[in-house]
Amino acid sequence: MSERKYFGTDGIRGRVGDDKINPELVLKLGWAAGRVLGNGHGGKVLIGKDTRISGYLFESALEAGLVAAGMDIRLLGPMPTPGIAYLTRTLRAVAGIVISASHNPYYDNGIKFFSSDGCKLPDELEAAIEAEMEKPLETVPSDRLGKAERVEDAAGRYIEFCKSTVPATMRLKGLRMVVDCANGATYHIAPHVFEELGAEVEVIGDRPDGFNINREVGSTHPKALQKMVLEHNADLGVAFDGDGDRLIMVDHEGGIVDGDAILYIIARSRLASPEGLKGKVVGTQMTNLGLELALRDLGLELERTRVGDRFIMETLKRNGWSLGGEPSGHIICLDRTTTGDGIVAALQVLAAMVLGGASLRDLAAGMPRLPQTLLNVSLTGRKAGEVMASEGVKSAVAEAEASLGTEGRVLLRPSGTEPLIRVMVEGTDAARVTELANHIAEAVKAAMAA
C-alpha cells in the first residue's frame, strides 16, 4: 500500500481533536467519500458507531459531508463493526461507515469504510477519497441534497444474522456463560444472541457512558471476565472489544482461550463437519507455533502473513480459503461472513462444544501452547534495517535457530507503530526460550551502540 496522508491499515484513527480526527476533517472526509462512492449518482450510505462520547460529534460531521455530496444516509446508532458490514450488504448500500477506535480508550476515535459487498475498501478507493479531500468542498444543488433516516430494526436484523451462522437446530440450553461487552458496541446485541439460543447469560461491560469503553473490561482486559466466570460457576466466558470484531474466551476454570486456540477449535470443527475446511488456515508472524503443530497433526497447514487482519483477509481472498485469525482474537470466517466478527466466531466455538459434547477447556487443550518470549528493544540513532542486518545480530539469530532446531522459532521485526525492534522466540523449553531471546536482544543493543 502506498504512503497515505490519512488512511492507515484499518481506516483513519487518532486522538480526538488531532490532525486526523477532528470535526473539520471528518466533514471533508464524508463529502469526499460521497463524491467518490456515489460517482455523481448519489446512493445510500450507512453510518454506525461504537459507544464513545465523540461518536455523536463525528456522526453529525459525516452526515453533513455526505448529504452535501448528494448521498442519502441511514443511521444505525451503536452497532458492532461486523454488523455494519452485514447491513451494508443486505440493505444494498453503496458503502458502510464505522465510527470506532476498536480496543483503544475513549479519547481516541476512527473512521473506517466497507464497500457494498461488506468488505473493507480497496486501496484504490481510499486513495481516490484522499485525493478528493484536497479539493474545495462544493455542495450539490438543493434539489440533489441527500436525506438522513434512522434504521430502527438494525440490532434485530444483525442478531438474526448471527444466529443463522450456526445450525438451526442448535440449542445452548443448560449452558451458563458470562458475556463481557467492553461497554462497547455489542452491549445491546451479544447478550440477546446467546439468550435467544437458550444460554443462561450473566453480562458485564454493558453499561456504556461514553467514557468507559474498554476500561478494565473487554478482550484486552480479561481479568474481570475470569473473576465472573469463577464466581458464577459458569461453563465459559466471552469478552469482546469495543467494536465487536474480536474476542477472547475463558474456560470454566478461568483459563484464557486466545485467538490461536479459538482458530484451532473452529478449524478442527470444520474439518469434522460435512462442509469441511477449504484450503489452509491463515495466521500471522505472531501466531504461536503450537497452533501450527496442532494443525499439522490434523493434516492442515498454517499460512503466515504480516501482522494485521488486513493481510489475513488478503491472503484468504487471494487463495479462496475460508479461515484465519490473530492471537488477539480477530477471527475471520469467510464461510460465514465477510469480515472479522467476534460474535460469529464465539458461536462457532459454542457449536463445536455443543455438537461435540466437550467443554471449552477440553477443546482448547488440543492445541499445546509453546513457551514464547517477546522483548521490545528501543531504537536509538540507527534504522531498524541496519541494526537487523548487522553481523552480530544475524549471528545471534542463527545461533538461536540452530539451538531450537525444528522445535522452535525466532522472529525479529521492526514495530509498525513505534521505534522498536521486536524480538520473539518460541520453543519447548521456557527457560531456554527466555535465554535465547535475551541473547538476541543484547546483540540488537550492541549493534545500535556500535
Is residue 102 annotated as part of the catalytic site, yes or no? yes
Q: Do 62 and 100 contact (CB within 8 A), yes or no?
A: no
Nearest to 97 by CA among 85, 86, 109: 85
The DSSP call for residue 40 is T
Sequence-ordered alpha helix ranges (H) in 55-135: 55-68, 81-90, 123-133
Active-site residue, selected from the candidate residues 54, 100, 102, 403: 102
Q: Do 120 and 113 contact (CB within 8 A), yes or no?
A: yes
Q: Do 181 and 203 contact (CB within 8 A), yes or no?
A: yes
Dihedrals phi, psi of 215, to nearest 5 degrees: -80, 105
Q: Do 283 and 309 contact (CB within 8 A), yes or no?
A: no
Q: Do 301 and 291 contact (CB within 8 A), yes or no?
A: no
Interstrand relation of 95-99 and 44-49 (parallel, antiparallel or unpaired): parallel
Cell numbers at 379, concatenated? 531504537
Question: How many Å is the maximal CA-CA distance in the chain?
Answer: 73
Which residues are known to be catalytic?
Answer: 102
